Structures are given as structure tokens and as C-alpha cells.
Chain A
């Protein structure tokens, strides 16, 4: 439903950007477009963020719009809530998703609840951007995938792009939206994911998935850092004559149920991939909805490939992550059921 909508035909120029460049560009354009947008967090100013996502923004927009904060995630998130309530459009950076912990209470008690508890009188349209996921030899304090904590909290939108196009479009949509959005950036794709990004203004609607590859035998669903491996697995299976449809969820809350369900109804098989630990993994929800709504179409149990239920290990980083072989094996299992 969306893969075709997202690229307006004949829409002029595109350039090849990395995912992180697309993130920067989205912020730059929105800072220029809307005075209410402010960007802040630890080290985002002169340094440009530890991954350089905000590089150059302070020089361009000044320290009133782009600024460093004290080292306190509770302050960063809590202040974003206050600014948003007062009419700004804050984009707060949490240096690593692993450090959302100290800001957790502000996210779940304030950002997520203010609209509801005030009967809609007060709202907090704000973005928390944060690099997440593994594959960079970071050990457990620099590699976690905590998205499920946030998908479990009503009131928050949760997105995770895997391409530069989506990174820019989703961030812009988040900035222009009316709700708090947790925007996870798969850090191992920051520079590894390169792709065409239009020069003109566009957004990617939060809540719409994308078909990365069409297929008829099995539906492979993922998001974020696992997408390149999912596509590799699909390509490997294609070489064996198996036609895999690859879906990138892009948004977890809300997520594109129709896209997933219509695909599973077509293929009869689903394998769900994420790198977060398995227990209470968001994909458990996707699996539940598939069995509830598409049970009659299923030719095999829904397969799941996830991280293990251990803290993220340093040395075993490669074994921990579900690489293309593990994804392929899960698909083969579903196909041979």
C-alpha cells in the first residue's frame, strides 16, 4: 500500500545520502522551516553529537536553537516535555538508547501521559532521537534495542527507519506531528545505509510499512538494523527459487497491520525478525495479530528470529545478532513445515 505511494513519480532531483546524513538534513530543513523547532541534548552543539548527527546545526542556527544540555537524560526528556507543552517543537537527543534509563520516568510518566491525563488540554509534541541496536562492538551499554519498553507505553509513537529516505521522511513527519515520538536510529546503518533521497520536501507517514521486495512464498517482517540482513536472506532464498516478500515495518506504534496481514494472506507464511531480546519483543504482538486475523491463511507457525534473552554481549556481538543465515534458516523451517 505504501511502497508505491512514497516515491512521487517525476519528483525531480535525488541525491545519495547516508542514513545519518538524512537525519541531519531533516533537522536542518525543519529548523529552517519552523522557528519553534529546537534541537538539544548532550554534546549536540559544537561537537555535533557523538555520531555527528547534529554536526553543523549549531553553527548554522546558533546556540539558541541548537544547544548542549547538562549530562542528565531526565532533564533532557523532561525539559522537552515542558517546552512542547509551552509551544515549541523540541528534538531531544539521547546519546545512546541504552541511556534512556535515567530519562525513562519522564518518557513514560510525562511525555506519554500528558495528553490523556489532561483530557487533551495539554500535549507534548516532541521527538526523542536516539541511536540504538548492536553490531558496533559496544557491549551492553552501547548496543541495546529497548524499543519494546516504549511500544508497551500508550501515548508514545515509536519509529525506526532503515533507509535514508525513510529516516528523513519519518523524522519530518514526527516533527510536524502532534504526539511524542521515540525515533530510534539503527546506529550500525548510520553510514552503511546509503540511498536516494529527494531534494524536495516530503514526509513518510508514521504507521505505514513498506514492501522492500515482493514475493509469494513467505513474508519476512523486520525493522531497523536487521533490514539489510533480511534482504540478504531473501536474496539467498530467491537464488534457491523461493519468493520472499520483505516488509520493513518502519513504525512500531502504530504499525501497519493491513500491510502485514494482506501479505501473509497472500504467502501463507511469516517470519518476524528483530534484534531485541525475545521475551516481550514487539514482534510478539505482530505474531499475535497474524494468528488472530490470518489464522486460516497460515501454512506454518509464525517464525521469530530475535536477539537472545541475555544482556547484549561484547565479544559475542556477531553470534548475538540475527544475521542472514539465521534468518534464512527460520524461513526454511517455515517453508518445510
Chain B
């Protein structure tokens, strides 16, 4: 039923302005905010302001979460600062709540931009009773069934074969949904990554694979990760188009990912997009010494100069609608207040008690787990 003819070509509408396998990342907007291609009409100042707000919100969320870490109220966080255009742009490229997402652990900006309530993210990071994932997984590994945003797994690339299967089910069920599967550049070295792309390709499943290439996998850079010149070229091996995008240009991300998503949705099979971006912060709080250990300040500075938020601000200014400083400051303090309020709300729900540990291991609790739970209950009562 899910057979693809091996000789069937990877067809792209010829009229498309979006070329696969471009040697340089596609971009619409230059670093200073000037368009370098015709800006499609939908990028009105209103839309651009909205995108700007979402990116600022994500950046400030990062800042606040780092503060929570310092205060010892959570124990792990992996910032996505610098990657806002990629993740906010991705959220705008799919049909949120209709399509399915198999994200990776640096995707909270994607989640926020998809409309996962901030308190859900915060609750997960704090492991409170308001955590939809019930305090099971380490901080920063949320999931949201209402958005078809599948709970994040730490194990790199382990989401890729399931994403292929999710897409195969969508095809089998005859839906017009697609599956978005994201990962870092490091993930593309894992066997699971290759297995997942190969499977989706063979099944012509509607999967959109997106590499958020921030160029580092902890301390391993792209050149040490693979001898390929880039990631998207690997799509050739799996019979799908590979697109190369400037991931700090939100217009480019939305144009290419939006196009690829609809191409996938049209039944052409999977596609791979590589968004070239940079994580300007450390890998996680366990790695606060990045600049000392493995990368240079100069490199970080050169990417700070390509900041995705500044680029949208530049574009708005170019269009005659500059973001005014006061408005920006208000926006930032509003995000900080919102995070503070949600933290208090989440903390007020308390920490889940020991019973939660024995739930959801299976659909119904087998005898040995009931015994183990009874053992802990007796222990707890004895301690009172």
C-alpha cells in the first residue's frame, strides 16, 4: 500500500522560486534589514511586528529561565537565543494543532510560537503539579497534546524514526496532515536519523525534517561532525529535496519551510530543510564555559552581529515602521512580568507527591507496581 516506485523522480513545481540544494543558504533579508529578494505581500508591517514580538518574547523567556536556574528553582535549561527566527518561522510554516510535531530539546521557542501556554513550559521546568508531564522528565522537556507537540526526549535523534512513522500513519489514514520533525546538526550523525529519513523517503511519507543547524553539538563543531559540506545535501541519499536556508532570516525560514511543508502535504514525499543558525549561549547550564573551552569570542561576536531579532527590526525600519525603543522596553518588561506571574502560579500548585511515580508506567498498574507503591506508602506513614 505504501509503495513508492524507485524510479519516481522527486518532483518540484517548476514555477517555484525555491531551489533545492542551493549552494548558499537562501535568504530574503540581508543582515541590515534590506530585502535581497522581492518581499512577498503577506509580510505586512503588522505581521512583521507580530513575528518580532514573538521573537523578543522567546529571547526574554530564555533570560528569565536562566535567572530561575541561578535561583535554584529549576535545574536544567538549554537556551535558544540566536535561533528565534528558525523556531518562530517554523511555527508559522505548519498548520498548528493540525499537523504533528516531533521536536527536540531546544525547541521551547517553537512551542511558545505554536501557542503552547507559557505556564505549561514553566510548569514543566519546575516539575510542579501543573506540569502536564507530571514531573517525570528533566526540566525543559515539555509536550502538549493539544498542539500535537509530542513530549521531548533527551535521547538525540530518537524522535526521528517515530516521526517517520507518524507521517506514515497520516498517509495511511488519508489525512492532509504533515509531520514536522526537528533536530540539531549533531543529531544527523546518529543511526536513528538516517534510519528515519530513509524510512520516510521509501514510504513517501508526509514528513518535513528540519535541521536547526546551530553549528555546534556541545563542543563538537560541524566540521568534526561530518565530512559533508552541509546537512541538506544528505537528502539526496534518501530521495528527497534538501533546502538550505538562512535560519536567522525569519522571512526565508517561513518562505522555504512553508513551501516545503505544502509540497510535502501535496503527497510528494518527505523533504529536508537545513536552517543555518547559531546558538549564541552555552549548550546548556551544564556548559557555561563554552568560550573558554571550545569556541572563540570572535566567532560568537560575528554571530551576534547577525542577530535575527535585529534583522526584523532592520526590515521594519527599512519599511518605514521602526520599532520604537519605549515600545520594545515595555514589551520586554511585560514578558518578564508574565514569566514571574506564571512561576508563582506554577509553584503555588506544589510538587507532585510520590504516588505520581507509579502512574503511567502502564495503562493499568500491574501487581508488582501496586506492591511497590504500597511499600512507599507504608514508608511515608512510618515517617510521620
Is B218 an interface position by the 8 A CB rule? yes
Binds B, one of A83-91, A96-104, A168-176, A214-222: A96-104
Is A148 an interface position by the 8 A CB rule? no
B219 touches A102 (CB 8 A): no
B-contacting residues, A234-268, CB 8 Å: none
Chain A: which residue is nearest B290 at the CB level? A47
A139 touches B351 (CB 8 A): no
Binds B, one of A27-35, A125-133, A200-208, A309-317: A309-317
CA distance A140 to B156 in the complex (A): 14
Is B191 an interface position by the 8 A CB rule? yes
A315-B352, A319-B354 known; A68-B154 Cβ under 8 A: no
B220 touches A43 (CB 8 A): yes
Cβ contact of B154, chosen from A139, A313, A326, cutoff 8 A: A139
Chain A: which residue is nearest B191 at the CB level? A74
B217 touches A71 (CB 8 A): yes
A81 to chain B, nearest CB (A): 15
By a CB distance below 8 angstroms, the chain B residues around A308 are: 357-358, 369, 372, 376
Main secondary structure, interface of A, reads loop
Is A138 an interface position by the 8 A CB rule? yes
B368 touches A42 (CB 8 A): no
A320 touches B357 (CB 8 A): yes
By a CB distance below 8 angstroms, the chain A residues around B220 are: 42-43, 68-71
CA distance A311 to B134 in the complex (A): 13
Binds A, one of B51-59, B60-68, B182-190, B297-305: B182-190
Is B356 an interface position by the 8 A CB rule? yes
CA distance A280 to B285 in the complex (A): 35
By a CB distance below 8 angstroms, the chain A residues around B293 are: 46-48
B155 touches A101 (CB 8 A): yes
Is B153 an interface position by the 8 A CB rule? yes
CA distance A70 to B356 in the complex (A): 37
Cβ contact of A314, chosen from B138, B155, B156, B191, cutoff 8 A: B138
A142-B138, A309-B368 known; A46-B219 Cβ under 8 A: yes
A102 to chain B, nearest CB (A): 6
Is B1 an interface position by the 8 A CB rule? no
CA distance A278 to B293 in the complex (A): 40
Is A50 an interface position by the 8 A CB rule? yes
B138 touches A68 (CB 8 A): no
By a CB distance below 8 angstroms, the chain B residues around A161 are: none
Cβ contact of B294, chosen from A46, A50, A314, cutoff 8 A: A46
Is A137 an interface position by the 8 A CB rule? yes
A311-B361, A313-B136 known; A43-B225 Cβ under 8 A: no
A50-B286, A139-B154, A315-B127 known; A310-B135 Cβ under 8 A: no
Cβ contact of B351, chosen from A48, A311, A315, A326, cutoff 8 A: A315
A residues apposed to B, CB below 8 Å: 42-43, 45-48, 50, 68-75, 98-99, 101-102, 137-142, 278-279, 308-311, 313-316, 319-320, 325-326, 329
B residues apposed to A, CB below 8 Å: 75-76, 127, 135-139, 141, 153-158, 186-187, 189-192, 217-220, 224-226, 286-287, 293-294, 351-352, 354, 356-358, 361, 368-369, 372, 376, 379
15 A-B pairs, CB-CB below 8 angstroms?
A42-B220, A45-B219, A47-B287, A50-B286, A69-B220, A70-B226, A71-B156, A75-B189, A101-B158, A137-B75, A139-B136, A308-B357, A309-B361, A314-B135, A316-B354
